[in-house]
Amino acid sequence: MPLLPFSHIIRHPTKDIVVLSFGEHLQAVETKNGVIVASTIELEERESNGLEVQPITNTPDAAQENKARVQVLAFSPDGAFLATAADDKIMKIWDTESWKCLGTRTLVRRSNALEFNKDGSHVVTADKFGDVYNMIRDLPDSVAPTKAAETTEDGDEDEDEGEQPILGHVSMATDLALSKDNKYIITSDRDEHIRVSQYPKGHNIETYCLGHTSFVTTIRVLPGESQKYLLSGAGDATIRVWEFLKGLEVQTFNIREALGMPPSEPDAEEDVTVFSFAICEKKNHIAVVIEKESRLLILQWNEDAAKVELHKIIELGGKPLSAEYDRSGNLWTSVVPEEGKTDIVTVYDNEYTQQDDLAKYVNTFGSKAVEVIPDLFNTEELRKHTTDWRELKRAREEKEAARLAGDPDAPLSKKKRKNKNSRKIPEPPAQASASTSSEGGWSMKKEKEYRRHVTQLEYFDILGLILISGRDELTDESFLILGRCVDGVDTGLLLVAELHSDNGCGNESVGDKGQLE
């Protein structure tokens, strides 16, 4: 059985240690010899390691046991603490000496980025709803979760309870970076924005760094004397260098060009996507992890020229998940191994020569065996599927024409499709019709018409703009597309029902007509 690959690798700022996360687990590895020094799992062959493995111990509270996948990790600048946040919204602070969990707290929403401030007294998180919180690090185990303010439906005055964000994007926040002097906080989002605000007074927005044409995935302040440059990666096949306080783009690095790929198709929905950066301050090297691309880019950062240049391309043994330079400049990479390969970690020395010795322990017993490797690439939620309905209509018509021409691969008959679809699109509650029939131009008859359209459309499940009987991750709301007109005057009009998680089935806001075109 394959080993579960490591989603994240992060270096300890003051010791020769890297921490690797896989699923809900953490593993601390000595970077001088590759020995596993601490782990949240019971290692079968502790002895073969050559050293005793210290258990990384969770809080005694069983309910708080590590269950969900670790999403983000960060060390405090002095290395004394490690903060982790998982898919279950639980943030933990670990003591990196004793490897004990010091405290947990439940965040309002899933954290997408986490960083300590420079004195380690606060942890800053940016969440999937775009809010950024500046939280005191030291917290008793049983701090009332900030979630309380969200879930109370009755009382009127509880909105101000709990932690208030220092800033917020009306979009999913994807990453954050604090300037070295901690005067500024830089945050990125799914709607192509990079925002520079004062820290901790986040209400003072200094500027925006605008230029990316797709979601921004990762931002890092570049090393050097000036501390004025920011590096950003996105889903638009570019890496950009900014003079961030001026909002000034100083370089666009084209990844397709660097990898010898043809330019992207115009109107392509997906492009080459930067996953993350690893930065080696010693060499001013940047390792660029690109989503599902087995080649790792190594860039040279030249501060005087305010420019990154291609230094080297490393061919990895699989699709990369994470990369990190350790304190001596060795590069640790983690991959989902390609067919026929098993190594989940490969280490390269300062000359980028493979160092098999350092990775041997983690590759033999550093992770746990799984039947199937799950999808560990999580950029899908960042993509916007804005397929034009006209395209879809054309595709449908072509398919229909092919069917009529006797093509054996043609879609099923309308009746069968209808049945198939009706499983996915349940009948709307009765109130839906009532509440939508009142407003100008919108009638029961029309709604019926629209609904008929939807149930007859074979492509409805790839509309993508609004999830179909699915959940909008961003708003925590479920949507149900009830109908859509593809011909006539009202083309593109959507009737969308919002299904509420609290009452199961939308009985109030059903009939929210979103506008597509």
235 makes contact with another protein (CB under 8 A): no
Residue from 171, 182, 251, 507 touching another protein (CB under 8 A): that is: 171
* Closest by CA position to 319, among listed 299, 341, 351, 349: 341
Residue 71 corresponds to which tokens in the numbers above? 């999403």
Question: Which residue, 92 or 513, has its beta carbon nearer to another protein?
Answer: 513
Nearest to another protein of 422, 501 (CB atom):
501
205 binds another protein (CB under 8 A): yes
Q: How far is the CB of 449 from another protein (least distance, A)?
A: 17
Stretch that binds another protein, among 252-260, 291-299, 443-451, 498-506 (CB under 8 A): 498-506
Closest approach of another protein to the CB of residue 6, in Å: 32
Phi, psi of 11 (to 5 degrees): -95, 145
Q: Which range touches another protein (CB under 8 A), out of 27-35, 67-75, 346-354, 508-516?
A: 508-516
**Is residue 159 part of the contact set for another protein (CB under 8 A)?**
yes
461 touches another protein by CB under 8 A:
no
Among 12, 193, 319, 451, binds another protein (CB under 8 A): 193
196 exposure class (CB count in 10 Å sphere: 0-12, 13-18, 19+): buried
Q: How far is the CB of 18 from another protein (least distance, A)?
A: 35
**Residue 352 binds another protein (CB under 8 A):** no
To which residue do tokens 């033999």 refer? 364
**Closer to another protein by Cβ: residue 93 or 496:** 496
Binding mask 418-447 for another protein (x = CB under 8 A): ---------------------xxxx-----
Query: How many residues interact with another protein (rule CB under 8 A)?
Result: 58
Q: Which pair of tokens denotes residue 10?
A: 């992060």
Query: Rounded CA gap, 5 and 344, in Å?
Result: 6
The answer to the question of residue 197 lying near another protein (CB under 8 A) is yes
Residue 96 zone, left/alpha/beta (φ > 0; ψ -120 to 50; rest):
alpha
503 lies in the binding site for another protein (CB under 8 A): no
DSSP string, 452-502: HHHHH-TTGGG--SS-SSEEETTTTEEEEEEEE--SSTTTTBEEEEEEPTT
Tokens describing residue 199: 């820290």
CA angle 507, 509, 510 (to 5 degrees): 65
Least CB distance from residue 176 to another protein, whole Å? 14
Is 192 a binding residue for another protein by CB under 8 A? The answer is yes
Q: How far is CA 350 from the centre of its chain?
A: 30
User: Which residue stretch of 60-68, 87-95, 346-354, 509-517 sits at the interface with another protein (rule: CB under 8 A)?
Assistant: 509-517
Q: Out of 42, 44, 153, 351, point to the residue binding another protein (CB under 8 A).
A: 153
- Least Å distance between CB 316 and another protein? 32
- Residue window 107-146: x/- pattern of binding to another protein, with contact defined by CB under 8 A: ----------------------xxx---------------
The secondary element (H helix, E strand) that includes residue 257 is helix 255-258
φ, ψ (nearest 5 deg) of residue 186: -115, 130
What is each CA distance from 323 to 8, 244, 302, 330, in whole angstroms?
A: 8, 25, 21, 10
Q: Is residue 191 near another protein by the rule CB under 8 A?
A: yes
CA torsion sign, 93 to 98 to 99 to 103? negative
Using alpha carbons, select from 121, 229, 240 the residue that is nearest to residue 180.
229
Q: Is 512 in the site for another protein (CB under 8 A)?
A: yes
CA distances from 178 to 31, 203, 212, 407 (A): 26, 15, 20, 59
Nearer to another protein, 189 or 324 (CB): 189
Please list every residue from 209 through 228 that binds another protein, using CB under 8 A.
Answer: 210-213
In the bound state with another protein, the residue whose beta carbon lies nearer, of 192 and 291, is: 192
Residues pairing with 499 in the sheet: 478
Establish if 267 lies at the interface with another protein (CB under 8 A): no
Tokens at 426, concatenated: 């349940």
Among 86, 297, 466, 480, binds another protein (CB under 8 A): 466
- How long a stretch of residues is the chain? 517
Closer to another protein by CB, 45 or 472: give it. Answer: 472
157 vs 371, beta carbon nearer another protein: 157
CA 274 – CA 252 distance, rounded (Å): 13
Contact present, 33 and 18 (Cβ < 8 Å): no
* 334 counts as binding another protein under rule CB under 8 A: no
Q: How far is the CB of 487 from another protein (least distance, A)?
A: 17
CB of 210 or CB of 434, closer to another protein: 210
CB-wise, 16 or 477, nearer to another protein?
477
Part of the chain binding another protein (CB under 8 A), chosen from 37-45, 68-76, 421-429, 503-511: 503-511
475 binds another protein (CB under 8 A): yes
Residues contacting 224, CB < 8 A, separation 6+: 284, 301, 303
Percent helix, strand and coil across the chain, each rounded to 5?
15, 35, 50
Residues in contact with another protein by CB under 8 A are 129-131, 150, 152-153, 156, 159, 164-165, 167-171, 191-193, 195, 197-198, 201-205, 207-208, 210-213, 384-386, 388, 439-442, 465-466, 472, 474-475, 496, 498, 500, 502, 508-509, 511-517
